[in-house]
């Protein structure tokens, strides 16, 4: 199958840009392209304008899409690129490439799915939750962050979840502790068959260990810094074991961002293969 076969480069108008606590919710108009976007796919956006010293695109997980031809991003204005993006007014146009990368697989038989997000890594899980619920699956969500302000859990996003658990390390919202602390209990209590996760690498690694113990599937959206987002620069690699048992550096932009948590060799990330 051709790589990124639905991907297009286009100019997308900013429909709205709202501050939500420490994050920005940015809605872009991409027209019919929304029909080809699946939960887990990402968008690569050119930042900084024409005379910018920022030469690389920024990759963002797509939070959700709307039938009216718009897509939604949750952006944390941390670096110079994301700050520029968060400063774009309604009506500005952005040079975007989307949809890119792999998508979350949706089970064919009705199951209970556990969606685990760290920080604004929860963003793409809300679009996924809608799709899972529409296809007749039960959705449990567990979101964690260091503090309440870093939890992203919009009211309208909660509708698709039967249960939403929140964890903060400082106890400022939900249970005190890490999102991974009580995953095993949640898995047993709700007879969870698949975990979907998005967030920091350490969290994904911890979830992989738990999914292994519980012997259930784990699809995670990995994050490694990318220069291109389309598979040509080879910077965003992650060590993954293939069906033959060989460990290879795979590109998280093309072979990911959604990967099988069990196949990712977390202990080898950042090591020489």
Q: Which residues bind other proteins (CB under 8 A)?
A: 2-5, 7, 9, 46, 53-57, 95, 97, 224-228, 230-238, 248-249, 254, 269-273
Residue 214 tokens, joined: 């519980």
Q: Minimum distance from CB of 140 to other proteins (Å)?
A: 32
Q: Minimum distance from CB of 217 to other proteins (Å)?
A: 26
Q: Minimum distance from CB of 261 to other proteins (Å)?
A: 18
Alpha-helical (H) ranges within 195-273 are 201-214
Cβ-based nearer residue to other proteins, 10 or 92: 10
To which residue do tokens 């204005």 refer? 77
Residues in CB range of 136: below 8 A, 6 or more apart: 110
Cβ-based nearer residue to other proteins, 101 or 127: 101
Cβ–Cβ under 8 Å, residues 221 and 198 = yes
Q: Minimum distance from CB of 188 to other proteins (Å)?
A: 35
d(CA 136, CA 131): 9
Q: Minimum distance from CB of 136 to other proteins (Å)?
A: 34
Burial 174-202, CB ≥16 within 10 A → b, else e: beeebbbeebeebbeeeebbbbbbbbebe
Cβ-based nearer residue to other proteins, 63 or 88: 88
Q: Minimum distance from CB of 59 to other proteins (Å)?
A: 11
Residues in CB range of 208: below 8 A, 6 or more apart: 218, 220, 261, 262, 264, 266
Cβ-based nearer residue to other proteins, 83 or 248: 248
Within 10 angstroms of residue 10's Cβ, the number of other Cβ atoms is: 15
Cβ-based nearer residue to other proteins, 172 or 265: 265
Cβ-based nearer residue to other proteins, 22 or 233: 233
d(CA 159, CA 17): 23
């Amino acid at each position: 199958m051709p790589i990124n076969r639905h991907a297009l480069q286009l100019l997308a108008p900013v429909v709205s840009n709202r501050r939500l606590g420490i994050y920005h919710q940015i809605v872009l108009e991409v027209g019919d392209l929304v029909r080809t976007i699946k939960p887990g796919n990402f968008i690569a956006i050119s930042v900084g304008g024409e005379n910018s010293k920022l030469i690389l695109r920024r990759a963002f997980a797509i939070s959700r899409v709307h039938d009216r031809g718009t897509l939604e991003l949750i952006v944390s204005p941390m670096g110079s690129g994301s700050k520029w993006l968060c400063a774009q007014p309604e009506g500005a146009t952005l040079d975007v490439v989307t949809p890119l990368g792999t998508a979350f697989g949706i089970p064919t038989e009705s199951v209970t799915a556990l969606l685990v997000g760290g920080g604004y890594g929860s963003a793409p899980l809300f679009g996924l939750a809608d799709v899972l619920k529409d296809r007749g699956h039960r959705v449990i969500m567990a979101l964690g962050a260091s503090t309440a302000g870093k939890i992203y859990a919009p009211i309208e996003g909660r509708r698709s979840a039967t249960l939403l658990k929140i964890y903060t390390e400082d106890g400022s919202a939900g249970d005190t502790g890490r999102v991974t602390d009580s995953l095993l209990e949640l898995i047993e209590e709700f007879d969870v068959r698949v975990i979907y996760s998005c967030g920091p690498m350490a969290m994904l690694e911890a979830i992989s260990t738990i999914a292994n113990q519980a012997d259930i599937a784990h699809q995670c959206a990995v994050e490694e810094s990318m220069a291109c987002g389309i598979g040509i620069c080879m910077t965003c690699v992650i060590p993954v074991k293939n069906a033959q048992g060989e460990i290879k550096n795979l590109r998280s932009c093309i072979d990911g961002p959604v990967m099988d948590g069990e196949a990712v060799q977390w202990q080898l990330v950042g090591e020489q293969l």
